[in-house]
Chain A
Amino acid sequence: MASGNNSSTAVTSISLTRPSLPLRGRSFRALVLAPETPLGDWFSHLDALVQRSPTLFSERAVILDVSGLAKDSLRGDAAGPEAAEPAEDDTNAAAATPDIAGLVDELKQRGIRIMGVEKAEPAWLGPALPPLLSGGRPAEMAEPEAKTPPETQPPEPVKPPEPRKPNSLVLETPLRSGQSVYHPEGDVTVMGSVASGAEILAGGSIHVYGALRGRAIAGAGGNPRARICCRKFEPELIGIDGLFRTADTTDPKLRKKAVQVWLEGETLRMAALD
């Protein structure tokens, strides 16, 4: 494969540069503050809470749920996670607009920075305010312990990270078209082939001891050291750590060969193994 027709230097691997800016998705856990009227009472509860556990809001993403503030939609707040019903009476709509800017300022004075607002009407938020969020799902959050005396308690001991257990997945059967394997941590080894229309997503490396004809995405979730190795290279798509290539943009000279794919900086490189 080293004989490049159009290149003057003999190369052992094909280097391809990043085609476009990669976009990645992440989801995070956030604390949700849901102020209720009257705000004075709510702030005193909040102050008491901060008094008990001063580190509760530090270095945490905090979302403001304002469904409890719209005067006409107090029921929506009681109903739980579903979106608050918008104020239906147009004449009251302006009066019902809560002072979100003032609220965000009040919270900022307490050292709580708001990164997003949930369950607000788009009209309530100006450009200076945090963005409107939607699609949030409830998640568990550790409750601050009430009995904690603020001064004497040393900061929580940081647990040493558990040693990572080897977590490899070995598939004895070929992966058929339409089948999908998602293995977020560790390597995936396929003893057979990966058919066209099948896909593997692995947090670690991917090894295919047959033909790779489908999609293989290694290092999913951010592992630039992951690799893809296969006995017969005919993939539809390959990717490592967010960098992708379709079959069209891989070197045709590597087709049907034993190939490895790895990441070098911002470049996806691939070379024949023999």
Chain B
Amino acid sequence: MAKIIVVTSGKGGVGKTTTTAALGAALAQAGQNVCVVDFDVGLRNLDLIMGAERRVVYDLINVVQGDAKLPQALIRDKRLDTLSLLPASQTRDKDALTDEGVARVIGELREKFDWVICDSPAGIERGATLAMRHADIAVVVTNPEVSSVRDSDRIIGLLDSKTERAKNGERLEKHLILTRYDPGRAERGEMLKIDDVLEILSIPLLAVIPESEEVLKASNLGSPVTLNAPQSAPARAYTDAVRRLKGETVEMIVPSEKRSILGKLFPRRAA
């Protein structure tokens, strides 16, 4: 039986899809059988980040509505044969997702894989609530920035009320991944510090992904950052996150500022 992870944030553009792809690839690299599911119907992106956009025939909507069988729609990754993608439809909208259809597809995926990672659309509407409904674990992606943090707080409230687990009185694991973190800017007060975000959201920290050009580079190449540049700082942070998800205890490496000699001589004043 698979564990269902929803990657969600409330706000758009904070790195949900990047995180979904990176976690999925890292789990598959660790030998796990993984499916990443794009729930962003109408604005699909995960296929691009995974480099599978030329191989999409059927999508989530076709399976939900019974026009295609699940194995027909699943796209196996060319680099990792334990990694599959269930793409979203770009031509339909979120109303095409039915409660029963989604429940059935998630049920089938649960049988086939060890991990199912659902890439939630931004927002708090139907698409987002359907993506989180069947989750066992929620990964909340947040940028160190006030509007992203507040939107994440809103999403955590929904996770505690709209998911099946919450409705059944069961515990839903919630984890925070802080993305695009720049220690220097946080130190200068241009960005929220890790502790500020944790204090507001009060959920356990799964990883801090440093701001890095590797992430954008990997996205444009259609390769998850954990595959494309496994030794880069963001890839290592995602790999550690996956080990924590699997239950290992891994020391949290918080990005710190690399100071030049000049910077050490003339330390910047904290705001």
**A residues adjacent to B (C-beta < 8 A):** 173-174, 176-179, 192-193, 195-198, 211, 213
Contact = CB atoms under 8 A, between A and B. Distances in A.
Contacts, number: 34
Contacts of B156: 176
A57 B203 CA distance: 59
Given A173-B160, A176-B160, A197 B154 contact: yes
A213 to B, nearest CB: 8
A174 B151 contact: no
Nearest to B124: A178
Interface of B: 124, 150-151, 153-154, 156-158, 160, 199-200, 202
Contacts of A213: 200
A177 B202 contact: no
A176 B200 contact: no
Most buried by B among A173, A177, A195: A177
A177 B151 contact: yes
A219 to B, nearest CB: 26
Given A176-B154, A193-B202, 7 more contacts: A173-B160, A176-B153, A176-B160, A192-B202, A195-B150, A196-B153, A197-B154
A106 to B, nearest CB: 56
B200 A178 contact: no
Nearest to A173: B160
A196 B151 CA distance: 10
A190 to B, nearest CB: 13
Contacts of A211: 199-200
Contacts of A198: 157
B160 A195 contact: no
Contacts of B158: 178
B150 A197 contact: yes
Contacts of B154: 176-178, 197
Contacts of B157: 176-179, 198
B200 A193 contact: yes
A177 B160 contact: no
Top 9 nearest A-B pairs (CB, nearest first) are A176-B157, A177-B153, A177-B154, A178-B154, A195-B153, A179-B157, A176-B153, A177-B150, A196-B150
